[in-house]
Amino acid sequence: MSYRSIREECLAANLALPKTGLVDLTFGNVSVADPKRRVFTIKPSGVDYDKLTADDMVVLDFDGNIIEGTLRPSSDTPTHRHLYLHFPGIRSVVHTHSRAAVAFAQAGCDLPCLGTTHCDYFNGAVPVTRGMTPEEVAGDYEWETGKVIVERFAGMVPLDIPAVLVRNHGPFAWGPSAAKAVETAQALEIVADMAIRTLSINPNAIPAPAHLLNKHFTRKHGPKAYYGQA
């Protein structure tokens, strides 16, 4: 059984990360899933982006078993796997330590929806998780990270707000394809930077009103979307 297509998609997305400015050193990873076959592929741990090949991408099943690959997968692999198991409809997960988004994660603050750029990608504030307990950190840390993300999204639609800020850590974003997930991670960093600048000018800036948020989100997403080409 060939996993070449998702390996190549995963490689392209990982190579795109440095070009977006979202990563420093090797602080980032992308995974791509084939939900029907219940497998996903992910960047190997700590390998420089300019040295990656499609064959380096590690293929695992949804139970966490390595199917193909000789390198050790990203240390964040259990977090990615947990999201695939609990967020139907996503095919790719991106994790970075992009600076503006990390600032909100370190501050323990939701990223507020202050304007239409944010509304175009996220149907409301991007949430921050609760802090992790000593037991969660000392245990299966990366798996527990996935659990606190899923816990935070209780009652929410992951594809309506396709990103999260893990407190004291950083952002995870996701989407229906690797290219879209990387785009969302980039959009997250852009609106986080905009929010920091806005709040530095006016700390009491109020979120975009619901009618404006709804208009901008639904013109790009859902059955009534009309932005772009058919």
pLDDT score, position 230: 66
Angstrom distances, CA of residue 28 to CA of 3, 171, 172, 224? 22, 10, 10, 34
Answer for the pair 94, 172: CB distance below 8 angstroms, yes or no.
yes
Domain boundaries of the chain, sorted by first residue: 4-218
To which CATH superfamily is domain 4-218 assigned?
Class II aldolase/adducin N-terminal domain (3.40.225.10)
Q: What are the pLDDT tens digits along the chain (230 aa)?
A: 689 999 999 999 999 988 888 887 777 899 999 999 999 999 998 787 778 888 889 999 999 999 998 889 999 999 999 999 999 999 999 999 999 999 999 999 999 999 999 999 999 999 999 999 999 999 999 999 999 999 999 999 999 999 999 999 999 999 999 999 999 999 999 999 999 999 999 999 999 989 988 888 888 777 777 776 66
Catalytic residue, chosen from 34, 110, 120, 193, is 120
For 207, phi then psi, to 5°, come to -60, 160
Q: Which listed residue (24, 140, 160, 227) is catalytic? A: 227
The number of beta carbons lying within 10 Å of the beta carbon of residue 143 is 15
* pLDDT given for residue 1 in this prediction: 64
**Predicted local confidence at residue 229, as pLDDT:** 66
* Helix or strand run (H / E) with residue 164: strand 163-166
Identify which of 11, 25, 202, 174 has the alpha carbon closest to the alpha carbon of residue 99: 25
Active site residue 227: yes
